[in-house]
Chain A
Amino acid sequence: MSVKLQRIDDCRWRIPREGAMRTDGLVFASETMIHALQQEQALDQVRNVATLPGIVGPSLAMPDIHWGYGFPIGGVAAFDPEDGVVSPGGVGYDINCGVRLLRSALDAKEIAPHLARLADALFRNVPSGVGSHRKDFKLMVAEERRVLEQGARWAVTHGYGSAADLDHIEEGGTIAGADPELVSDRALERGRAQLGTLGSGNHFLEIQRVEKIFDETAAAALGLFVGQLTVSIHTGSRGLGYQVCDDWLRTMLRASRNYGIELPDKQLCCAPLTSPEGKDYLAAMAAAANFAFANRQLITAWVRQSFEQVLGKGEGELRLSVVYDVCHNIAKWEEHTVAGRQRRLCVHRKGATRAFPPGHPLTPAAYRTVGQPVLIPGDMGRYSFVLVGTPGAMAETFGSTCHGAGRVLSRHAAKRLARGRNIEAELQATGILVRAAGRATVAEEIPEAYKDVAEVVDIVARAGIGRIVARLRPLAVVKG
């Protein structure tokens, strides 16, 4: 079905309210992006989200929008605490999938002779691919429940990192209100062997070089400089999160029926925020989100261990410290100003990043003058970006911006394009080493499978919903 679109300016498009929609859709995209989007179902999904009860403001889509399930990937929607709903489909299966960026005191050029050994060490020390886990790390049931309550703080308490790490994680690495009792045995069982694992697909671990600084003041605040070696970690809540989502979708399907909520797509099933189902889902989701924070914290410890092993330097010399850690798939209670009135809203971000502006109380003290860091991975052959949040994002997108490049090719199409090519050799020729558990992943994750993330962040910057700080160039990529 074709979706009615009205161009607002060169980076904003309105989907006017009609039919069952309760509000407009607002899509941030270039004309080229919009043409591509009209070939798939992402815009229909923006419209579907606009039909949900209690939605406040428009149903939003960031410039990396693409076809998801239920919500589009790149979708943001805020809901009123009294009339609104919470939907597991607005969070996704990989609850708190996110990105963490580590900076270092290392010059990437000096590390070049050791790069292959570093990539090997990361591939060895950080379990990646389906079914892999560290033999020396075992999580007992009682401990797993503590992970769900405490998130990254659990990992730090057990020697995996420092308190300073926690200061640079969204929500301090622990979402309050998590209730492990609302997480099923099946979810606990799936999670137990997967804490501290990268996973597969688009998840990755990347050694990078800061290639260009766009905003000297913000870069200085974030501790970034040209030529610096950085490390990015992209993963989430693994099987535990997938199971929590699956469990609660069933509950929400029944709840939607019981509360008389009409659904344009079953994956959008939801419950009122005031209902027991809605409250319980948020508590279970918080538990899974905490598992993801702990997951990235453990991986950080093993990244540090890998650098120490290969370079023979201690923590004091490496100074691999957390720049920031952001959630991509989450629903959270936040304070926002709507039509001049301060309101508490439940903001869903499905493949979108929080982007709070300078001065916001939830931005870490070190970044208070420049804004919350926003980490935008690209593909493994080009670059990633570091941005900061802006007042524009606060005013227009409930303090949200994009989360990545967004796929343009299906996995089949990417595989067809990669057939007969040696992708690893191609990337190596451009100075990028790849270590991957499976060849299929590399073929399906080829750079051409993604939009150019530079085009995505260009729209973000032009629309004023994020400010570009730095561009990072991959040097070594570990994939599952």
Chain B
Amino acid sequence: MGTFRLLEHTTDMGIEATGESPAQLFTAAAEGLRAVLSDLPPRPCSDWREVAVAGEDFEELLINWLNIILYRLEVDGLFPEQFRIEAISPTHLTGRIGGVLLDGTIPPPDREVKAATWHQLEVVQQGGRWRARLYLDL
């Protein structure tokens, strides 16, 4: 089971995520991003988008994964609620983002996240668990 906690930053916000596998880790990090975007409790998904991202290593993959969630939010209006990682390697991820479409009838996000940054970015495996730390630009 993956978990996350939000990290304090003077201007922005950070996420520390953990999981027993890379898939759990990436799911937990995405859930951390969702918690930054809105203070509302999770809502049932009405729409899903398939995504595929690539990177040179788990660190780049994590940044690209979180930033494609933000891209889908901005371009499709898909507010992310649930995440399914279907396949993951250090260089590739395929999965699905479930969410609700921002059609004017549901509250918009509480915060605009510009991007997941590379500042102090870390993805490590320690004692059988995976841990990641990153900061978001708000």
A interface list, Cβ under 8 A from B: 40, 42, 66-70, 73, 89, 92-94, 129-132, 186, 189-190, 194, 199-201, 239, 242-243, 245-246, 249-250, 253, 265-267, 269, 407-413, 437-441, 444, 480
**A411 pairs with B13, CB closer than 8 A:** yes
**B8 pairs with A412, CB closer than 8 A:** yes
Partner of A441, one of B11, B59, B110: B110
Partner of B10, one of A130, A265, A407: A407
B interface list, Cβ under 8 A from A: 6, 8-13, 39, 59-60, 63, 67, 71, 74-75, 77, 102, 107-112, 114-115, 117-121, 135, 137-138
**B10 pairs with A239, CB closer than 8 A:** no
Known A68-B11, A73-B11, A412-B8: A186·B119 in contact at CB below 8 Å: no
A411 to B112, CA, bound (A): 13
What is the minimal beta-carbon distance from B51 to any residue of chain A, in angstroms?
13
**A250 pairs with B119, CB closer than 8 A:** no
**B60 pairs with A242, CB closer than 8 A:** no
**Nearest A-chain residue to B11, judged by Cβ:** A407
Query: A residues within 8 A CB of B108?
Result: 129-132, 437-438
**A413 pairs with B8, CB closer than 8 A:** yes
A368 to B121, CA, bound (A): 46
**B115 pairs with A246, CB closer than 8 A:** yes
Q: Which of B8, B11, B121 has the most CB of A within 10 A?
A: B11
What is the minimal beta-carbon distance from A427 to any residue of chain B, in angstroms?
19
What is the minimal beta-carbon distance from B116 to any residue of chain A, in angstroms?
8
Query: A residues within 8 A CB of B75?
Result: 189-190
**Nearest A-chain residue to B116, judged by Cβ:** A246
Query: B residues within 8 A CB of A189?
Result: 75
Known A239-B74, A246-B67, A440-B39: A266·B112 in contact at CB below 8 Å: no
Q: Which of B60, B109, B110, B118 has the most CB of A within 10 A?
A: B118
**B118 pairs with A266, CB closer than 8 A:** yes
Query: B residues within 8 A CB of A480?
Result: 112
Partner of A245, one of B10, B107, B115: B115
Query: B residues within 8 A CB of A200?
Result: 111-112
Query: B residues within 8 A CB of A409?
Result: 10
Query: A residues within 8 A CB of B8?
Result: 410, 412-413
Partner of B137, one of A93, A239, A412: A93
A413 to B121, CA, bound (A): 23
Query: B residues within 8 A CB of A242?
Result: 114-115, 137
Known A186-B71, A253-B118: A440·B111 in contact at CB below 8 Å: yes
**A440 pairs with B118, CB closer than 8 A:** no
A266 to B122, CA, bound (A): 10
Query: B residues within 8 A CB of A194?
Result: 74
A265 to B59, CA, bound (A): 13
A269 to B121, CA, bound (A): 13
Can you list 9 A-B contacts with CB-CB less than 8 angstroms, sorted by A residue number?
Answer: A94-B114, A190-B75, A242-B114, A253-B60, A266-B121, A409-B10, A412-B8, A440-B110, A441-B111
Partner of A267, one of B6, B9, B118: B118
**Nearest A-chain residue to B77, judged by Cβ:** A131
Known A132-B108, A410-B9: A69·B114 in contact at CB below 8 Å: no
Query: A residues within 8 A CB of B118?
Result: 69-70, 89, 249, 253, 265-267, 269
A462 to B63, CA, bound (A): 42
What is the minimal beta-carbon distance from A89 to any residue of chain B, in angstroms?
8
With A93-B114, A408-B10 known, 16 other A-B pairs at CB within 8 A are: A66-B10, A67-B9, A67-B10, A69-B135, A94-B137, A129-B108, A131-B74, A189-B75, A190-B71, A246-B67, A265-B120, A407-B11, A409-B10, A410-B9, A412-B6, A438-B111
A245 to B116, CA, bound (A): 11
Q: Which of B13, B39, B67, B114 has the most CB of A within 10 A?
A: B114
A250 to B67, CA, bound (A): 12
A253 to B13, CA, bound (A): 23
A73 to B11, CA, bound (A): 9
Query: B residues within 8 A CB of A440?
Result: 39, 110-111
**A438 pairs with B110, CB closer than 8 A:** yes
Q: Which of A69, A93, A410, A412 has the most CB of B within 10 A?
A: A69
What is the minimal beta-carbon distance from B1 to any residue of chain A, in angstroms?
24
**B121 pairs with A199, CB closer than 8 A:** no
What is the minimal beta-carbon distance from B136 to any residue of chain A, in angstroms?
9
A260 to B37, CA, bound (A): 37
**Nearest B-chain residue to A263, judged by Cβ:** B118
A133 to B59, CA, bound (A): 34
What is the minimal beta-carbon distance from A424 to any residue of chain B, in angstroms?
16
Query: B residues within 8 A CB of A93?
Result: 114-115, 117, 137
Known A68-B11, A201-B138: A131·B102 in contact at CB below 8 Å: yes
What is the minimal beta-carbon distance from B12 to any residue of chain A, in angstroms?
7
- 6 cross-chain pairs, A with B, having the tightest CB-CB distances, nearest first: A69-B119, A440-B110, A200-B112, A266-B118, A267-B119, A93-B114
A199 to B74, CA, bound (A): 12
What is the minimal beta-carbon distance from A451 to any residue of chain B, in angstroms?
11
A249 to B11, CA, bound (A): 20
What is the minimal beta-carbon distance from A226 to any residue of chain B, in angstroms?
34
Query: A residues within 8 A CB of B137?
Result: 69, 92-94, 242
Partner of A265, one of B13, B109, B111, B119: B119
What is the minimal beta-carbon distance from B118 to any residue of chain A, in angstroms?
4
**Nearest A-chain residue to B119, judged by Cβ:** A69
Query: A residues within 8 A CB of B74?
Result: 131, 190, 194, 239
